Structure 1
Amino acid sequence: MDISVFNHPTSKAWLNLSLVPGIGPKAMQRICEANLTAPQVYELDAKQLSTLGITPKSISFLKQYPPHTPSKEVEAALIWAQHANHHLLTWLDDDYPARLKQIASAPPLLMVKGRVEVLQFEQLAVVGSRHPTQAGMAQAYEFAEQLTNMGLAITSGLAKGIDACAHQGALQAGGVTLAVLGSGLQKIYPRQHVALAEQICENGALISEFGLNTGAHPGHFPRRNRIVSGLSMGTLVIEATLKSGSLITARQALEQNREVFAIPGPIKNPQKSGCHHLIRQGATLVESVEHIAQELRWQHESVQPVQQKPALITVEMSPTEQTLMKALDYEGANLDELVRRTQLPVAQLNVLLMDFELSGVVRQQQGDYSLI
């Protein structure tokens, strides 16, 4: 990135102000509502700053490090931005995503690693539980893959579970996926997704509003979620409990006047309770990507009809195989539960499950068997 843009006093002031510890979205929103520019904020006295909701500690830091005497955090960001595919975007930049700029609490600074132009692509957020069922993981992967084939970029939060599956589905389709972090770009969280983050950067982007070396913190994730939904045309919730952070993302999407979609599931699956709650509140129930395309009125020349998986022909199965088929579902069940459902001996059940796995009928992960 050419950092000469930060020679401009206003750009430099926004960069500085954005990295003042303790100044978050609410304080920035109050600054904007007061029609103040960043240089004007630095001219205010302590009393005036406190009326904007800025804490004494943040005021002290702000006064200690004005734009002409930047903090180490700002200097580190400027050095980082000199590397290829590293970008610092303020509200003043043409590359700042237009859709995100429309929301009330748009971050004044985005740090981006990867292809900065993809922030302007039409995106759909795909979010959900960190502890999904096998069926939920498959849905996230397949929906992301199919949405990518429709020409949409997939945006999510790099978290374990649904987020990771959505990113991987988009990558499998050779498309673009964007990951918004709840930490700094040099503190990838969770650590096991460092390799996935690098894959995302190759054709998509990593995004954060936090300083480069900021660690993950529970309070960061609701802030991250508003960016995930703010970048996107709509938000698709795959699986979520009633206390899931994905419902926060959905609520923020509604507040941002964006569409919310939810995939229903079995009523006894707690990971679908959040989806059912959203549907009762007016979210669009979806069973295929075509439902999303219709709701968004999205058409793209690369749209391909979704290939439906052939139905299993149980007529050709033996009576015991049919018994097992009726006991299996897309949510997953362990061996003890399948013994209870089928009343078959463990040894016989193991043989049948192995045959089903080899035939591509079921998958087994972490001791649970589910239909594919």
Structure 2
Amino acid sequence: MSGFSNKETLIWLNKIRVSNIATNKLLEYFENISDIWKISNEEILNIGCIRKSVRQKIISNRQESILENALEEIEKNSINVMTVLDEDYPDRLRYIYDNPTVLYYKGYFSEIDKLSLGIVGSRKATSYGKWASEKISSELAELGITVVSGMARGIDTEAHKGALKGKGRTIAILGSGLDIVYPKNNRKLYDKICECGAVVSEFPIGTEPFPANFPQRNRIISGLSLGILVIEATEKSGSLITVEHAIEQGKEVFALPGNINSIFSRGTNCLIKDGAKIVMDIEDILEEINEFNHIITKQEEEVDYSQLSSMEIKIVECIKKEPIHCDNIVYMTGLDISTVNSTLTILELKGIVKELPGRVYVLS
């Protein structure tokens, strides 16, 4: 057998789907894990710290071509690889249960990422949830806090977009190989994250986004973060698996309250009921995590009313409180619908308000 390095050997074990737990046992067993290429099949069968099925998998896949093909795929896709043996491997991941022995990534990790918050939530997010995810992420990013999420539809996507809008860093943890963008319509977002953060996966190149992969990747989202914020979740949401990992890892858990009649807020409201920290604004997060205590939040910029008409001011005052449907603006202001619609259009052109799906409006 050829003289492959320890790092290359870990890539091979990952490629043939030897679990992280079994691989870590092999790291303890061998002084140099690359020795696994040199010993006999009989010696492999006598390794007592791993199951017989794993030993047989190693023997049947101990082929140089498998590793060589994996290394070619990595180079072809311009992917970086980090292993648990590397000094720059994230410290927070070293000590979590089932820590990933191999991380594939595009982009780069930074010292800044030590100040990070995970944001997760429903794929079928409401306008309120999407707005809150983008707003909170943007405000955190402006303060130098890295936003970690999973690049799924809904809340995750808006969290990444918000961080980018705030000119900050964001890290996406995928449930597929790095060569597969999922969902496909997040291709531009994927590329942008690579420029302003990192896209990361523990799954080898070519791994499809199987449902079972997503609960597994959630422990990495919480592992890299100082805390987890859940924005909208049903009672059986996958986001709650991330919360379980966060609790096991001793991380802070936050939840955004929502409408008690919405199924998408049942999970978050229950988290608050069970002791999660309620989040009304980012100060609720900053004051709870010691590493964030030194960060001074920026004062919200007040809307300049000097250039607004009385009708525009009335409408802005309604929208300042929360995302609001245009029908509710009509009710609260007493203005007729045509006046409200035309005034909202003018405010949009002035860059003061923004329309969300469903005729819901927020301040820009």
Equivalent pair of 1:153/1:178 in contact (CA under 8 Å):
yes
Cα 1:52/1:191, change in 2 over 3 Å: same
1:301-312 to structure 2, matched below 5 A, reads 303-307=296-300
Q: Residue type of the partner of 2:262?
A: N
Give me the whole-angstrom Cα distance separating, in 1, the residues matched to 2:234 and 2:338.
Answer: 32
In structure 2, what is the equivalent of residue 19 of structure 1?
15
The answer (yes or no) to whether the contact 1:128–1:246 under 8 Å persists in 2 is yes
- Mapped to 2, the partners of 1:166 and 1:135 lie a distance apart of 13
Question: 1: CA distance between counterparts of 2:238 and 2:231?
Answer: 12
- What is the number of residues matched between the two proteins? 349
Q: Is the CA contact 1:111–1:209 (under 8 Å) kept in the aligned structure 2? A: yes
Contact 1:222/1:249 (<8 A) preserved: yes
Partner of 2:224: 231
Q: What is the match of residue 345 of structure 1?
A: none
Over 3 Å counting, the alpha-carbon distance change for 1:257 and 1:176 in structure 2 is same
SS in 2 for 1:298: helix
Structure 1 residues 117 and 317, CA gap change in structure 2 (3 angstroms)? closer
**Which runs of 5 or more residues in structure 1 are unaligned?**
1-5, 343-347
Once residues 299 and 258 of structure 1 are traced to their aligned partners in structure 2, the CA distance between those partners, rounded to angstroms, is: 14
Secondary structure of 2:269 counterpart: helix
Between 358-367 and 134-143, the greater mean CA deviation after superposition: 358-367
1:28 to 1:310, Cα distance in 2 relative to 1, 3 A: farther
Q: Which residue of 1 aligns with 2:59?
A: 63
Tell me the alpha carbon deviations over residues 247-272 of structure 1, each in whole angstroms, 9 at most, x when there is no partner. 11111111111111111122122222
Match of 1:353 in 2: 341
Distance change in 2, residues 1:162/1:309 (3 Å): farther
Equivalent residue number for residue 173 of structure 1: 166
Q: Structure 2 vs 1, CA of residues 73 and 241 (structure 1 numbering), >3 Å: closer, same or farther?
A: farther
In structure 2, the residue matched to 1:206 is 199
State the Cα distance separating 1:207 from its structure 2 match. Answer: 0.3
Residue 290 (structure 1) aligned with residue 286 (structure 2)? no
Distance 2:346 2:20 in 1: 52
Counterpart position of 1:369: 360
Task: Give the superposition deviation at 1:66.
Answer: 2.6
1:72-221 to structure 2, matched below 5 A, reads: 73-80=69-76, 83=78, 86-117=79-110, 121-221=114-214
Alpha-carbon distance between aligned partners in 2 of 1:200 and 1:268, rounded to the nearest angstrom: 35
Matched position secondary structure for 2:148: strand
**Higher mean displacement: 184-193 or 265-274:** 265-274
Cα separation, partners in 2 of 1:310 and 1:54, compared to 1, 3 Å: farther
Instruction: Give the aligned residue type for 2:199.
Output: L
- Taking every aligned residue pair, what percent have the same amino acid on both sides? 30
Whether the aligned pair in 1 keeps the contact of 2:169 and 2:197 (CA below 8 Å) is yes
Distance 1:281 1:209, change over 3 A: same
Kindly state the Cα deviation for residue 53 of structure 1 after the two structures are TM-superposed.
4.8
Q: Provide the rounded CA distance (Å) in 2 between the counterparts of 1:226 and 1:177.
A: 17
The Cα shift of 1:52 comes to 3.6
| Contact 2:226/2:251 (8 A) holds in 1 | yes
Give distance in 2, aligned partners of 1:35 and 1:178: 30
TM-score (norm 1): 0.79
Give the superposition deviation at 1:70: 3.7
Q: State the distance in 1 between where 2:47 and 2:343 align.
A: 69
Unmatched 5+ stretches in structure 2: none
Task: Decide whether the 8 Å contact of 2:170 with 2:197 is kept in 1.
Answer: yes
Matched, 1:36 2:32: no
Deviation at 1:74, TM superposition (A): 2.4
- State how far apart, in whole Å, the 2-side matches of 1:26 and 1:353 are: 59
Report the Cα offset of residue 200 of structure 1. Answer: 0.7
TM-score (norm 2): 0.81
Paired residues of 1:14 and 1:108 also in contact (CA < 8 A):
yes
